Amino acid sequence: MIIRQRPELNENDVTPKASYLNRRQLIQAAAGVSLVGMAPAISAQAENVPGWLSEQIRTASSGLEDTSQGITDWDDATQYNNFYEFGTGKSDPARNSGGFNPHPWEIEVDGLCANPGTLSLEDMLNSRQLEERIYRLRCVEAWSMVIPWTGIELAKLLQQFEPTSDAKYVAFQTVYRPSEMRGQRSFFSFIDYPYVEGLRMDEAMHPLSFMAVGMYGEALPNQNGAPIRLVTPWKYGFKWIKSIDKITFTDEEPPTTWNLSAPREYGFYANVNPEVHHPRWSQATERRIGPNGNIERIPTEMFNGYDEVASLYQGMDLSRFF
C-alpha cells in the first residue's frame, strides 16, 4: 500500500465528465491516476445529492491505495452486493432502493462521550477534507472486489465527540425505515432490524478504519449504503454497516446483527482469516471480481492483506475470537 499525492489540478477540472464514461479503458491505460469522476452518468438517485456533498467528493484528496489490484467495474460494485434491507438477492438492493431518500441525513451520537448530540451529515463533515482510498472488499461469502471509496478516517470523525476513557467499544446502527426499506417489513426476514454493528475502540481508531460517503468519485448509491457507511478493509463485508444513523460509545461489547442471528457462523470480530472457515464453506480462497467483469480465483490473505492491523490482536486466539 502506498500514499499517492494528487497533482495540483483535479482531473475533473480539466477533463469533461463524458470522457470518463469508458472506465474499463481508462483504468487499464492510466494506472496511478485518480479515479474521481470515473462513475457513469449521474442517475436519478445522484440528481438528489446535495451540491455541498458532490463538491466535497469531487475535490477529495488522494490517500491509501493498493496499485497492484485491478479496480472492479462500477456496474459490478453497484449491481452485485448485499443490503438485506432491500432484499436478499445480489441485484435486489439496486432494484429496490430507488425509493429510499438519504438526504437530508442526521446521525445521533450518544453514550460515553463528552460531546453527544444529533448532527446533520453536513455538519459532521463540515470543513473536513475528504479522502479517496482504494480498498479491497472481502465478503464472508468468499467473493471480493477492489473499490475506490471517498470519505474520512473514522478516528477523525469520532474524536469530535470526545469519547471518554471508559468507552471501550463503538456501536453503529442502520436507519430503520420500513416504509422505504422493504426488507425491514418482510415477515420472512431471518435477521432483526435495525441492523447493528460494532468495533472495539482500538479498531475504530485505527488509521485504516474509514467512513465512506462516496465511491468512484460519486456520492454513495442507495444500494451501497447512502449516505454514509463503515469501511474496515481487514474485516468481512458484513461488518461494513450501511446507512448509519446512530453511533454509541459503550464500555460493553455491543450486539451485532449477524452474530445475534448465527453466532456459530459470524463472530463479533469478523476478521478475514483463511485458516478459520465458515461452517458451510472454506475461506482459503475467494472469487475476485475484477476489471471488465473478469473473475479470478485467488488465495485469501490474513486480514485481507492488511498486516498493519495484526498488532491489534496480539495474544488473542483468532480461531476463538473470529
pLDDT tens across 69-103, in order?
799 999 999 999 999 999 999 999 999 999 999 99
Among 2-16, 21-35, 187-201, the range scoring the smallest mean pLDDT is 2-16
Would you state the pLDDT for residue 137? Answer: 98
- Which band of pLDDT confidence, cut at 50, 70 and 90, is reported for residue 39? very low
Would you state the pLDDT for residue 21? Answer: 35
Would you state the pLDDT for residue 43? Answer: 55
Would you state the pLDDT for residue 24? Answer: 34
Does the pLDDT value for residue 33 go beyond 60? no
pLDDT tens across 307-318, in order?
999 999 999 999
- Which band of pLDDT confidence, cut at 50, 70 and 90, is reported for residue 279? very high
Would you state the pLDDT for residue 67? Answer: 59
pLDDT tens across 183-193, in order?
999 988 889 99
- Which band of pLDDT confidence, cut at 50, 70 and 90, is reported for residue 66? low
pLDDT tens across 207-242, in order?
999 999 999 999 999 999 999 999 999 999 999 999
For 212, other C-beta atoms within 10 Å of its C-beta total: 27
What's the mean pLDDT in 260-283? 97
Would you state the pLDDT for residue 20? Answer: 32
pLDDT tens across 131-168, in order?
999 999 999 999 999 999 999 999 999 999 999 999 99
Would you state the pLDDT for residue 69? Answer: 77
> Percent of the chain, pLDDT > 90?
80
Would you state the pLDDT for residue 38? Answer: 43
Does the pLDDT value for residue 11 go beyond 50? no
CA 231/CA 214 separation, integer angstroms: 11
- Which band of pLDDT confidence, cut at 50, 70 and 90, is reported for residue 17? very low
- Which CATH number does 2-313 carry? 3.90.420.10
Higher pLDDT, 283 or 17: 283
**Residue 301 is placed in which grid cell?**
490473505
**What does the domain layout of the chain look like in residue ranges?**
2-313
What's the mean pLDDT in 48-74? 90
Average pLDDT, the chain: 88
Does the pLDDT value for residue 45 go beyond 90? no
